[in-house]
Amino acid sequence: VDGAAHRLTVIGTGYLGATHAVCMAALGYQVLGVDVDANKIERLAAGEVPFFEPGLPELLAKALDSGRLRFTTSLAEAADFGDVHFLCVGTPQRAGSYAADLRHVEAALITLARGLHRRALVVGKSTVPVGTAARLTDLMHAVSPAGDAVELAWNPEFLREGFAVDDTMRPDRLVFGVSSRWAERRLREVFAPVVDQGCPVLVTDPQTAELVKVAANGFLATKISYINAMAEVCEASGADVHDLATALGLDERIGSRFLRPGLGFGGGCLPKDIRAFMHRAEELGVGRAVAFLGEVDGINQRSRERMVDLVRDLAGGDLRGVRVAALGAAFKPNSDDIRDAPALDVASALHRAGARVWVFDPVAMANARRAYPALEYGDSAFDVATGADVVVLLTEWSQFREIDPAALRTVVARPRIADGRHALDPARWQAAGWEYRALGRP
C-alpha cells in the first residue's frame, strides 16, 4: 500500500467530523481535519474538543501526540494531502423552511473538487436529502481538474452524542452507497479495522445510503412519539404509560429501546431530519407517504406543552411567582448540546408563564446561559432546589437519578417533583414525602 492510501482528510470538524477524524487517527491513519472556522481548528490543534463528548479529549490528545492528526483551514491542502476525503459538514434546517440547508456541503465540495488533480474518492457522511449525491456528483465532475476520475460515495453516520467514540469504533452497521466496485474496494480498505471486528457492511447505491439515514432517524422519532401519544391516552383513561411501555418493550419485535416516555426528542438531528424528510418527499411527489412524520413532530411538541401544564397543575394552577428548580438543560444526558433541547424549551415556557426558573445542568451551563439569558442559574441540583415550590427533572443525568429524595426535601419550600423523563422511582420519592408526577401516569 502506498503512502497516499494511508492519508485521509475529514472536512468539517463539528460533532461528527471531529469524532471521525480522531477515531480514524486512532485506527492508524494519517488524518488531516479541515474546517472554515479558524477558531475551531486552533482549539482542536491545541488538543481542546469544542464540545462535551466522553472519551474524545483523551483520544484527541493521543492522536496529536502520535503525529497522525493535524488540522488546517485549507481545502487546497486537503485536496493534495490524501485520496479519500470524508465530507462531514453540517446540514441544518434552513431558516423559515423545513428543508435542509446544503450550502455548507456544496461550498466545501466545490472548493475541494477544484483542487483534485488525480483520482480520488469523496465520501459524504453528512445527513442529506435523498438525491443529493447524484446532484453533487455532477457539480464535482464539472469543477474538478480530474473530472470523472473523482468519485462520490455516501456513507451515512449513525453515531449518538454521548457515545460518539464507541459508535464510530464499533458501529451496528456500515452502509456504503457507491457507484463503482473501485469505490466499494476503497471503502472496505479504509474501514477494514472496523469490519474485521465483525461489523456488518451493506453495499448499495448512493441514494439508498442517503435514505437509510433519514429513514432510521424517522423511525426512532416515530417510536418516541408513539409512546408519548400513548401517554396522552393513558392520562385520559387513568392508565400508566410506564407499565404500558415496559409491557410493549418485552415484545422482541417492538423492543424496549427508544420507548421511554416523557418530554420527547430534541437535539441537532431528529427534529430537523424528520422535517427535511417531509420536505424532500413533497418535492418527490410522495409527501403523503411520510405525512405521518408531521404528527410525530406534533406529538413531540405537545409533550413539551403538556409538561408545562403538568408543572402548573402541580403548582396549584398558576405559575406566577412560583419558584421552579429545573434539573437539566442539555437535550439529553452526557451531552452539552442544547440545540432544540426540550429541557430549555420547557424551562423558558415556565419562565414566560411567570415562574422564577432556576436551572442547573452538569455540563451545558455555558451554552444555556448564552442562549437563555433570562433564566437564572445555580451551581448544583441542591442549590437550585433551595426554596423551590416545584422541582422539575428535564434531562435524566445519572447524578439527578441518584439524588436522595429525603436530603433534597430538606432544602425545598414544597416537596413536589415533576419527572419529565420517567427517570425516577415514584415509590422512593413518595416514601420520602414528595408529591410525584409524570406525564402519562396516574
- Residues in binding site for NAD(+): 35, 40, 91, 127, 161, 272, 339
Q: Which candidate in 23, 88, 234, 269 is catalytic?
A: 269
| 159 lies in the site for ligand UGA, by CB under 6 A | yes
- State the CB neighbour count (10 A cutoff) for residue 170: 12
| 129 lies in the site for ligand UGA, by CB under 6 A | no
Q: Judged by CB under 6 A, which of 53, 83, 151, 161 binds ligand UGA?
A: 161
Q: Judged by CB under 6 A, which of 43, 160, 369, 409 binds ligand UGA?
A: 160
Q: Which of the ranges 5-13, 268-276, 313-321, 400-408 carries the binding residues for ligand UGA, by CB under 6 A? A: 268-276
Q: Judged by CB under 6 A, which of 22, 102, 224, 353 binds ligand UGA?
A: 224
Q: Judged by CB under 6 A, which of 112, 270, 324, 329 binds ligand UGA?
A: 270
Beta bridge partners of 376: 358
3-state class (DSSP) for residue 43: helix
Decide whether 260 or 304 has the Cβ nearer to ligand UGA: 260
Q: In the chain, what is the straight-line distance between the N-terminal and C-terminal CA atoms, in Å?
A: 65
Q: Which of the ranges 19-27, 31-39, 260-268, 288-296 carries the binding residues for ligand UGA, by CB under 6 A? A: 260-268
| 114 lies in the site for ligand UGA, by CB under 6 A | no
C-alpha closest to that of 201 among 181, 178, 172? 172
C-alpha closest to that of 420 among 320, 328, 293, 339? 328
The helix (run of H) or strand (run of E) holding residue 8 is: strand 7-11
3 state SS for 174-202:
EEEECCCHHHHHHHHHHCHHHHCCCCCEE
| 265 lies in the site for ligand UGA, by CB under 6 A | yes
What is the smallest separation between the CB atom of 159 and ligand UGA, expressed in angstroms?
5
Distance CA 86, CA 361 (A): 34
The answer to whether residue 23 is catalytic is no
C-alpha closest to that of 290 among 212, 204, 214, 225? 214
| 14 lies in the site for ligand UGA, by CB under 6 A | no
Distance CA 309, CA 66 (A): 54
The answer to whether 331 and 343 are in contact (CB under 8 A) is: yes
Query: Residues forming the annotated binding site for substrate?
Result: 158-161, 213, 258-262, 266, 332
Which positions from 201 to 220 touch ligand UGA by CB under 6 A, shown as an x/- string?
----------------x--x
Which positions from 16 to 55 touch ligand UGA by CB under 6 A, shown as an x/- string?
----------------------------------------
| 259 lies in the site for ligand UGA, by CB under 6 A | yes
The helix (run of H) or strand (run of E) holding residue 106 is: helix 103-114
Distance CA 55, CA 65 (A): 16
Note the residues at the interface with ligand UGA (CB under 6 A). Answer: 127, 157-161, 217, 220, 224, 258-260, 262, 264-267, 269-270, 273, 331-332
Active-site residues, by number, are: 269
